[in-house]
Structure 1
């Protein structure tokens, strides 16, 4: 392998019983099936910026890369679920005598990947479908999964922290006008005879005082960010207790070990990958920490006296926050030994003690195969650049 080829920055994503590995212009997904064999699929991955040159501009390119990565990640999860549980699904289908209206289709549907394709959770139609039908269903499943993920993340990581922070500031008296209004509202409610006001309305009037808009400051956004990160940590730690998710975290660790092996110029073998660290500074968890910091600073400048507007601006500026965070990682990654890069990625490296687990040799084999397959499709003339986060 030439030095120029080794300059390529690779990344990936752990999936069910496997991994998706990416180079700047290609990707490959490798999965270990129930019978122990490894299957893979690989393809070139044209950049969106090749079709729309405007997406090469700073900030815009970050948003484009992340959206493309999200779509590819959902596709990889659907593929891994269908392959990892294919034999179990076929065995289950063989026992079913009644053809079911295909609300849930073999290896697809809104629940594929979310449930991990657990056999027996839904009956599986025995009838095999054409490749065109499978492709169409897979596209619909990927689209619906992305929409669900976006709505879930908006509610959990934007709406809930914003409302809680607003309520904390009102309750603590850090927003004098809001506190006075809240007290006045509460006093008015207290004087109302219970019989003259329905319980639901009394409850709403009590809650409404805490929803009085607080103009965000750096302190407001800092608490908002801490609440958001607390939700994330609770979710990740909870997931880590599940056996199937722990397997995904082991593949996550194997992915990092394989990336380190590549970056150090070593042959891609299990023996070389085994001793490598399982925490990598360019992991997506490091990116999330940068996103939180950028959000705190940006929304301390762009702020409104309306709670609704403060919520909407956080949604509208998601691509801007992502783009700025991507540029920070991109610039700092050019010198990974630098103090700034180490500073902004250190919290993410700490968090990887939860999101990665020590893999076994069989998992390393899957990671290595995926990377080798993606490298086969990488043009020999590729310029070194920042590939997706590992």
Structure 2
């Protein structure tokens, strides 16, 4: 890849039987329906002056990104979950004109963030109590923090490995791989064809999986700076430091992405890539076709506007589009 090639602002998310891609102003999903057709779902990104300002502030922008990701991702995930396994014509078309959409979107986003934070609490505190119970084996602050980190990694890897065994999550992970492959093909300035996309890596430096792993690594170094005794204080500071760990981890993710073409420094992002070996799977050609359809439709919207999302009335095509605000 040309090192002067500007990294695009496109990001993505794997969903049930499909992929969502987003840019600064638009988000587009493509899903594979039960009858093998492809359906699109479009949601615009609405401008917010406050969020625009906050996104420029280091150590704050990570929380804004988390909120926006939850808000947009939940809409697309809900759409795909409700429609992928239903034959076209049998489903109820959502009322996208409902004036309560904004309130619902904000509520879903908050619920998504709270769910993430709850999971973070669980993955943070369970290792603390396990390490505390093993103080006779691992004595002293350094040993306790290292043991706590190892237990956290084991818990994380075990959880991902177990959920990846379920058929639906395995498919989501395959679409996750397809998403990365499409972005990698685009960033290498290649024609977006199935063959070119399949030849790409399913790993990517900007993946949210890397962010999750960085919270474990960053947390370990931060914990070395605070007391571990008495035990109740250790539990308390782990809770209070969650926002600190999240904000610093986001900055580390941004740093590793910017360093991915720098010799030696590129290896800073490798731990996150290793975790993606679990959170992504190799997609088949049909899954790649869906990811390509989503990305190309987003590019069309970027080029000619939302008119690109018009229902395809070609008699030979079963694909169509749903809009949401």
Give a deviation string over 1:147-198, Cα, whole Å, max 9, x none. Answer: 344324312x0121111111112x33725xxxxxxxxxxxxxxxxxxxxxxx
TM-score by length of 2: 0.80
Give a deviation string over 1:359-379, Cα, whole Å, max 9, x none. Answer: 112111111122223334448
- Residue 229 of structure 2, aligned match among 298, 302, 305: 305
| CA root-mean-square deviation | 3.1
- Which residue of the partner structure matches residue 175 of structure 2? 251
Task: Answer yes or no: is the 8 Å Cα contact 1:18–1:31 preserved in 2.
Answer: yes
- Distance (whole Å) between structure 2 residues aligned to residue 129 and residue 243 of structure 1: 27
TM-score by length of 1: 0.68
Aligned residues: 300
The structure with more radius of gyration? 1
Pick closer, same or farther for the CA change 1:173–1:6 going to 2, 3 Å: closer
- Which residue of the partner structure matches residue 199 of structure 2? 275
Pick closer, same or farther for the CA change 1:150–1:328 going to 2, 3 Å: closer
- Which residue of the partner structure matches residue 86 of structure 1? 86
- Distance (whole Å) between structure 2 residues aligned to residue 253 and residue 362 of structure 1: 13
- Which residue of the partner structure matches residue 225 of structure 1? 149
Give the deviation of 1:355 after TM superposition. Answer: 1.9
- Which residue of the partner structure matches residue 323 of structure 2? none
- Which residue of the partner structure matches residue 172 of structure 1? 137
- Which residue of the partner structure matches residue 356 of structure 1? 280
After superposition, residues 124-135 of structure 1 pair within 5 angstroms as: 130-131=95-96, 132=98, 135=101
- Distance (whole Å) between structure 2 residues aligned to residue 330 and residue 66 of structure 1: 14
Task: Answer yes or no: is the 8 Å Cα contact 1:254–1:363 preserved in 2.
Answer: yes
Give the deviation of 1:65 after TM superposition. Answer: 1.1
Q: Does 1:154 align with 2:113?
A: no
Gaps in structure 2 of 5+ consecutive residues? 305-325
- Which residue of the partner structure matches residue 343 of structure 1? 267
Give a deviation string over 1:341-388, Cα, whole Å, max 9, x none. Answer: 4322222222322222211121111111222233344489xxxxxxxx
Gaps in structure 1 of 5+ consecutive residues? 92-105, 107-127, 176-216, 381-390
Task: Answer yes or no: is the 8 Å Cα contact 2:128–2:235 preserved in 1.
Answer: yes
